[in-house]
Amino acid sequence: MNIMDKLANRAKIVGPVCVGLDTKLEFIPKCISETNGTAGEHIFEFNKRIVDATKDTACCYKLQIACYEALGLDGLRAFSDTLKYIRSNGLIAISDIKRGDISSTAAQYAKGHFCGDFETDIITVNGYMGVDAISPYAPYFEKGKGMFALVKTSNPSSVDLQDTLESDGRPVYMHMAELVSKWGSSYTENRGLSAIGAVVGLTYPDEFIKIKAVMPNTFFLIPGYGAQGGTGKDLARIFGDGICGVVNSSRGIIGAHKGKTEGDDFVSYIACAAAAMREDIMKWL
Torsion of CA 221, 61, 8, 268, to 10 degrees: -120
Which entry of 98, 111, 210, 258 is annotated as an active-site residue?
Answer: 98
| Residue 235 phi, psi (nearest 5) | -85, -10
Measure the CA–CA gap between 267 and 77, rounded to whole angstroms: 22
Measure the CA–CA gap between 247 and 11, rounded to whole angstroms: 10
* SS3 assignment, position 222: strand
Separation in Å, CA 208 to CA 199, 220, 225 = 10, 10, 14
- Active-site residue 98, yes or no? yes
Q: How many CA atoms lie within 13 A of 130 on its CB side?
A: 3
Q: How many CA atoms lie within 13 A of 248 on its CB side?
A: 26
| Residue 147 phi, psi (nearest 5) | -145, 155
* SS3 assignment, position 18: strand
**What angle do the packed helices 205-213 and 172-184 form, to 10 degrees?**
40
Residue type at 67?
Answer: C
Which residues are catalytic, by number?
Answer: 98
